[in-house]
Structure 1
Amino acid sequence: MAAASPVSFDDVRAAAARLAGIAHRTPVLTSRTLDSLVGAEVFVKCENFQRVGAFKFRGAYNAAAQLTPAQLAKGVAAYSSGNHAQATALAARELGTSAVILMPEDAPRSKREATAGYGAEIVTYDRYTEDRTALGEALAEDRGLALIPPYDHPHVIAGQGTAALELLEDTGDLDALLVPVGGGGLIAGSATAATALCPRIRVIGVEPEAGDDTKRSLEQGERVTIPVPRTIADGQALDTPGALTFPVNQRLVDAVALVGDDEIVDAMRFAFERLKIVLEPSGASALAALMAGRIDNPPRRIGVIASGGNIDSERFAALLGR
């Protein structure tokens, strides 16, 4: 018998109720130019307009809001390359507690500054030589803090699933849903919601070519670890899928497409020039896969989650000028 899923559709709906009035209900954009380019009707869920500029606030707040008063009194901890860091810091501030965040030394400056701006203490590490999960767990234990992981937590997964829930509420049935994949929390939650609302939907993950750990893992039927990838999509620079997220994605995700860094930049440029929105590389990867023809036989109605827009002006200009 298959193990029970750590997250149900009821959990996603409960998260949506918990987030109501706290998280933004982000807009869904359409573009006739984009539709013509890909030969389908495309609906872009703009999580770059979410609080902290990314979908991560949904999961972080949903998890932090379910801590006990005693846990909140001691504070929370997280480890993240940037968006979950900001999300946990803001969630902690909203709930009247403190946050300590472990971030890689090479995290984008704008993300570190924003995390500190929300009141969090930042501790750094080397993402290429140190194990952030082990460091984060030790940090939380040493200080007596409640750890909110970036994806491997049922409440985090459920919170992330509210993005797809909103999208389908706004658009009606879709034939496919494209979701960026890092640790797998966004796609696990989104697939839980999407397949419950629209059983025939194809859920397709998108990873950078250099960071194809989920694609390899799904193909091999078990979690695979790769060298920490070097890609402009820093939010997707992970070496292995989550222990909780992977079984969900094994069951619900139909395929994983890969995109190159140059294709991601092309999607960022298109989003800026034609959709009039700013996306960070990770936030543009699902759009990039669609625009670059990486989706086999694209169906008629496609949802795309644009997962975040946290990028500073200098890096944005440098990437688009390359």
Structure 2
Amino acid sequence: MTADRVAPARDDVSGGVDPLPVEEARALVERVTENVGRVVVGKADVVEDALVVLLARGHLLLEDVPGVGKTMLARALAGSINGTFSRLQFTPDLLPSDVTGTNVLDEAAGGFDFQPGPVFGNVVLGDEINRAPPKTQSALLEAMEEGQVTVDGETHTLPDPFFVVATQNAVERDRVYDLPAAEVDRFAKKCTLGYPDIEEEIEVLGRVVGHHPVEDVEPVTDVTALRRARETTARVDTAEPVRRYVARLVGWTREHAALGVSPRGGIALLRCAQARAVLDGRDYVVPDDVKREAPSVLAHRIRADTGAELGGEDATRIVERALDSVDPEAT
């Protein structure tokens, strides 16, 4: 299978790229979902969540037990869009320069050359991100928010698209560091893969007895088409009542939790709702798009009680109560 040919993107009057028609953007997502599904068995909902985040120009946090396919999901996504894949294995001794890159003396030229770090990729896997100390974790903050890194006062632009998939081990709590709230807030969604059921596991075993199917992933689109699909998503209409509904939801969490959802979280929710509309073939957001995206977008940003951890079970309950309490039709 080869990547579909698409017309090259060109700058428009606003300095962006031409959007794809909504149906073409939807078809792109369906092709990628099907392609990744050849590697990650039985997790179409999580693959879809990842693509929602990708279209919404966000980043994804995966927290789960070891060995359920978090790394394979990131690799299969990169291969499906014909993008560059980079892996960051976070360890306690990892330095910020190991993430962003560093300037190296070039004696022949009499100056310094910038050597990019692994953060320079279209899909960047931050594996076990909570094993690195906060100083190293913070090396991703500028990259995730602004699509650039600054080294020795010089700014370097990251590839477009730039998509971080960070993983956390959900069972080992020794020798790990809590993610700072500012970093957690930069992830549009937090998801889990979970164990496969018996039939899915039989399918997995049948696929990998020879070699892993991720080695055979071929692109079904390219980064140019993906950029155009992201522009399609950005232009999906969000009427004032929908924006008001999002604002009232995040406001409710602030009134009923020690730490509620930030304005950045509200923006992430609306952008993910735009992506959900594209997946449904619409160029406008409806309240059901917001409701569908709210649990995975909002819960990890909430601290239910003073001293509680971000995104615990109580945080999930707060999102459920917000959805039950806030009427999308109210003004």
- State the TM-score, normalized to the length of structure 2: 0.30
Structure index of larger Rg: 2
Normalised to the residue count of structure 1, the TM-score between the two structures is 0.31
